[in-house]
Each structure stands twice: as structure tokens, then as C-alpha cells.
Amino acid sequence: MSARRSLAVRLALVTLLTTGTIFFVSSGTLYYMVRDIMLEHAEEQARELTHATANRIRASLNEVSGTAQGLASALSAGHIEPGDLFPILDDITRESDAVQGTAVTYEPFAAYPEQRYFGPFTYETPDGLARMLLGGDDFDYFTRDWYQIPALTESGFWTEPFPSAANPDRLITTFSQPFYSPHNDRRLRGIVTMDIELPALTDRVDAVKIFDSGFAFLVSSRTRFITYPRRDWIMRESLFSLAETLGEPELRVLGRQLQRNDEGFTRVPSILLDEPARLYHARLPESDWAVGVIIPEQELYGDILRVMHWVLIIGVIGFLILLATIIGIARGITRPLKGLVTSAGEIARGNLDRPMPPIETGDEVGDLARSFDEMRLSLKDYINDLTATTAAKERMESELKIARNIQMSFLPKRLDLSDLDVGIDLAARLIPAKEVGGDLYDFFPLREHNSLFFAVGDVSDKGVPAALFMAVTKTLVKGIAEQDAHDPGQILTRVNNELCLNNENGMFVTYLCGLLDLGTGEVHFANAGHNPPLLRRADGGHDWLKLPPGLVLGAMEDMHYPTHSVTLAPGDSLLLYTDGVTEAADAEQTLYGEERLFDLYTAIATRSAKDQVEAVMQSVEEFAGGATQADDITVLALRYCPPDGTEPRKDR
């Protein structure tokens, strides 16, 4: 009896050891697999919430910046007198849901010769609209960031949040847009500003909830907290100041990530929340702010930890009961355990289709078998869901590649003028920042008029929406140009009115087009808010071609686009490009810039059009040094070589 009891104990111990090993290995494998799946799911959910929140904020920012740019263009064109501003500012502030205040501040004595300061300002109050004039000894607006920075950079600028001039208790952020003298001398005349109160943006961020205590927050370009659950940090602390105060260099690293990366999913230092957490952030390129969604890891992994705790508790109880039972009835327990161990081994090897053996003992061994079967089914469901998600992602990537091919097929590949006795050397190239982009170029002959139409453009966004807007713009321009090819300005006016119809997303496109008379070399230009081209004369002189300003296409109906004429002599060249060239950045966020492009063109202007395009693309690539391409890059080069000119004809 003693020997048999010893054998039963030994059998029980060996069986329990084997079963326990398989149980813990399977549970550990299951834990890590499920944890990774939950982390991916949480990242996707956080990404969607972050993008949705960012898009809502961007919609408000784009509405304000677009309205400000439109008003600045009207002021630069001389359509509005200083004395007529208050009714216009009232209408803008009243009709826009995003704008809480609108102002136009003039340079010294630019509005009236006897007034140094002149800044009409309309803003919302609880009782309705109010007016005031900015400027004076107690408020020198020329020293403010919202005035100085756009005046120096000659571009739009979003400020850090600051107290309103009308009510210091109200925190606002301001978009500033410079406007110039209507005499085309690029002399600064003043700044248009439009205010957004922070609650209009922060309420949307505060409303974001994920899991039980996950939340969203908003930081400025300097990582200062605009909204956060710790109210004492708002507008007082930044990630960099907290890094110094708390002595945590990890916060400084996190701050740099938010400033430099467009988006990302990373672990948050526990000092920030007193517990480990995950952060998904996305940067708003319009203002360089960042939106983040934080998920505490305790909640992220809470369900799986509770399940694993219960699995371990059930396993331990089952082992104890199994030990006592095997000692008494070793042979009766050994048989079902063998089947259980075998099935568990199959699950550990990934065979999830094999069911657990039917065990009807009614004890913990049966409970253990059912628990394994439930885990098998749950794991199988997780893997099936993961497989479906992976297949959907691969299908989406394939569709984006097809969309890129379709988009690139819209662009002309070569210029065929074989039936005309002319010599035109023309080349163009487009490199999108994403699978599909929003830049475009076009050129086609209008044989009835013995002329050549050419253009470049840049849609206000990137990705699939920008690609669709680009395709619509290109189709409209070509269709209208083939009907009426006399005046590029009239072409842009008609295209603008078409694009404004049902443009609910507020998209727009900068566009520069020219109509070249192949016989005389005269070029008629029309500009819709695009970068000026470079003109190189055959005698070696070259400079930026000054064109009359024009509002971007799709922003406002019934806009007039003036036409500017330039005559090309034999051997003269033109270089058209998008801001993806001049705003390309290296790893230190230094921009390529117009001066570098100007110097490069000095060296390559005598080359063929194709060599010019390749030289610009190569120069931008070398400057970026492997940094992520942030915007689409487009270059178009044209050389005029008529038959009676001094330069030979060059075919592409």
C-alpha cells in the first residue's frame, strides 16, 4: 500500500507539474498576445479620436485663416477704405461661428496722414458686438508678436494664447495676415487679425473621453498647456518647464517629440500622471499646436489582468483539488489529464480548431478544461479579428497605390507640338508627400490660337481629398481654357466660381497659369495666390516675375483675377514651382527658402528644361538630408526657342 500510495503521489506531482507548466506557458503567451492586440486597438482608437479632434480644431483655424487672407487680399487690392472698415468687421465677426474678434491695424500714418495709430477692432461681448480703436501710448500694437512676426515674415501667423485687448480676463489666440499697398510695391500697409477664444477650441478637446479616465489635451507650439485636467498648469506650465521643475529629462524628450513629429504613439513618463500611460498625439500644421490623447496603462491592460488573475486562481484551486483526487483515484484522473495536456499543447502550438476533450467529472479538472476551451475560443476570435484588420489595411494600401497611379496619369507626360513650327523646351515633375497629393501641373497646346497653356497649383490639403480637388481643378481649367483661351484671368474667374459651389470643406488651391503665344513669345499670366515664378532673360539677367495678387481658387465667389503680360525673347526661360520646394525642411527644421532657389537658378538657367527640373529636385533632396517630406513638390521649367530665334530647338 505504501508503494502504491507513493506512486499515486508521484504521479499526481508529475501530472500537476506538467499541467502547470503548460497552463502557465499558454496563459503567458495568451497574455502577451492579447496585450499586444489591445495595445494596437487602443492606438487605433486613440488615433481616430486624436484626428477627429484635430480636424475639428483645424476646421475652425482654417475658417479663420481663410477669412483673414480674403480680407487682406481685398485691402491689398485697394477695394476697402479705412473709414469703411467697421461695418465689414462687424459682418465678419457676426457671421462667423469661429471668429470672436476682427481687427485691421495700419502702419504709422498709413490710414490717415495725421494718425500714427489706426486699428478698428470689432469683438463679441455678452451683450452683442462692440467696437474699439486699437493703438495709443498705452497700447503700442507695433511691438506685439501678432503684428511684428507677420510683418517680418510676410506670411500668416498664429500666436501663442494671450489676454484679449478688449477684456484681459478672456484668453484668445490670434491669426495675423499682412496686407500691402495697392500699388504693387510690396510695401507693408498693415495687419489683419482675427481672434478665437480658447474655450471655443478647448471645449472640443475636454469633451474627448476614452476608457474610464483617459482624456485629451492641447499644447501650444512651445508645449505650453492650453487645456489639461490639472487646471493650475493651463497657460502656466509647459513640458519643458515641468522638466526643469520636476527634474525629469524625459519630459523634455516628450516635448521635442510633440514639436517635431506630425503624430506618434509613445509612453508617457509616469511623473506626469503618477502612473504609466500611453499618449497618441497629432500636430496641427496651421498653428504648430499638438493634440494628445492619454490612456492610463492600468485601464488599458485592466481587463486582461483581471482575466489572467481569475485564470490563475481557478488553476491553483484546480491543482489543489486535482492533487487530493489523484492521490485517491490516480488512475481515474490520469486518463482525462492526458487528453487535457495534449489539447493544451495543441493550443500552445497554435492549433485553435481542436476542441478540448469532453470531461464530465464535475470537478476542477472539468472546470479547467472548460476554461481552456473558453480561452481557445477567445484567442481564435482575437486572431480572426486581427486577420480581418490586416487584410483591410493591405486592401486600403493597395487602393491608395492605385489612386496614386490614376492621379499621376492625369498629369501630362510630354508636350507634342510636332504639327506646329515652334521650338518649346518644357519639362515638369511632381513628387507627392503621401501616396496621393494635392499639387498639380498642366500644359497643353491651343492650336486654334497658336498658343500654349501651362500652369502649376497647390491644393490646401494633402491626401485623397486634395487629390480629388486637384483632379476637379485640372479638369475645369482645361475645359474652360479650350472654350475661351483669350484671357487667363477670365479662365480663373470661371474656375473659381465652379470650385466655390458646394465647397463645404473649405478647400482651396493656389494656381498660377500662363498663355504663351508661340509666334510672338508674349505670355499672359494670371495668379491665384501662388508663388511668383523665376524669369531668366537670354542676356543672363533673371529675377522673380512680379505678378498682380489674386485670391486662392475656391475661397470666395465672383473674384477678379487680373492679367499680366510679359514678352519672352528667344532663349528666355521660366521656372514655376510650388511651396513644397521653398518650404522643404531638413532635420533641424531649416527651410530651403527662396534665396537658395534663386542662387540655384542662376547656375542652371542655361540648361535644358528637363535638366533644370532634375537639378531643383536633386538640390531639395540633398538639402532635406533624409528628413520626412512634409509637402508635395512640383517644378515646371519652360524655355522659349521660336524658329527664328537664336537658340536651337530642343525636344524632350
Question: Residue 514 — pLDDT band, cuts 50, 70, 90?
Answer: very high
For residues 598 and 553, the answer to whether their CB atoms sit within 8 Å is: no
Residues 6+ apart with CB under 8 A from 6: none
Exposure of 111 by Cβ count < 10 A (0-12 exposed, 13-18 middle, 19+ buried)?
buried
pLDDT value of residue 103: 93
Q: Is the pLDDT of residue 225 over 80?
A: yes
* 5 backbone φψ class: left, alpha, beta (φ>0; ψ -120 to 50): alpha
pLDDT of residue 164: 73
User: Which range (72-76, 172-176, 214-218, 253-257) has the least confidence?
Assistant: 214-218
Q: Quick one: average pLDDT of 29-48?
A: 72
Q: How far is CA 271 from CA 217, 247, 248, 249, 275, in A?
A: 17, 10, 8, 11, 7
Q: Are 494 and 480 in contact (CB under 8 A)?
A: yes
State mean pLDDT over 348-363: 67
Give the pLDDT confidence of 430-478 residue by residue, as tens digits. 988 776 677 889 998 887 778 899 999 998 877 778 888 888 888 889 8
Question: Has residue 128 got a pLDDT over 50?
Answer: yes
pLDDT at 202 over 60: yes
| Predicted confidence band of residue 567 (pLDDT cuts 50, 70, 90) | very high
- Segment among 184-198, 504-518, 632-646 with least mean pLDDT: 632-646
Q: Is the pLDDT of residue 411 over 70?
A: yes
Average pLDDT for 246-252: 85
pLDDT value, residue 392: 66
Confidence class of residue 649 from pLDDT cuts 50, 70 and 90?
very low
Of the listed ranges 152-161, 321-330, 422-431, the one predicted with least confidence: 321-330
- Nearest C-alpha neighbor of 585 from the set 625, 613, 532, 619: 625
Q: Nearest Cα to 322, choosing from 20, 647, 649?
A: 20
Q: Tell me if 288 sits within 8 A of 58, measured CB to CB.
A: no
Q: Which of 263-272, 509-518, 593-602, 634-643 has the lowest mean pLDDT?
A: 263-272
Helix, strand, or coil (residue 608): coil
How many Å apart are CA 283 and CA 220, to the nearest integer? 10
Model confidence band, residue 306 (pLDDT cutoffs 50, 70, 90): low
**Residue-wise pLDDT tens digits, 359-407:** 666 666 666 667 766 777 777 677 777 777 766 666 665 555 655 666 6
Average pLDDT, the chain: 81
Q: What is the pLDDT of residue 457?
A: 92
**pLDDT for position 91:** 92
Q: How far apart are CA 103 and CA 117, in angstroms?
A: 13
pLDDT band at 120 (very low <50, low <70, confident <90, very high): very high
Q: How far is CA 365 from CA 362, 435, 514, in A?
A: 8, 55, 83
Question: Which 8-state DSSP code applies to residue 261?
Answer: -
Backbone angles phi, psi at 228, to 5 degrees: -170, 150
Strand partners, 214: 210
Pick the more confident residue, 328 or 459: 459
The model carries a pTM of 0.42
Q: Which of these ranges, 30-34, 193-197, 513-517, has the smallest mean pLDDT?
A: 30-34
Average pLDDT over residues 603-607: 88
**Domains of the chain, earliest start first:** 77-201 (3.30.450.20), 411-640 (3.60.40.10)
pLDDT(520) > 70: yes
* Per-residue confidence (pLDDT) for residue 302, from 0 to 100: 65
Q: Count CA atoms within 13 Å of residue 495 on its CB side.
A: 36
pLDDT value at 330 more than 70: no
**405 φ, ψ to 5°?**
-60, -40
pLDDT at 365: 65
Q: Is residue 53's pLDDT more than 60? A: yes
Q: Is the pLDDT of residue 180 over 60?
A: yes
Read out DSSP for 27-57?
A: HHHHHHHHHHHHHHHHHHHHHHHHHHHHHHH
H-helix or E-strand spanning residue 190: strand 188-197
Q: Residue range 36-58: average pLDDT?
A: 76
Mean pLDDT of all residues in 496-519: 89
Residue 646's pLDDT is 47
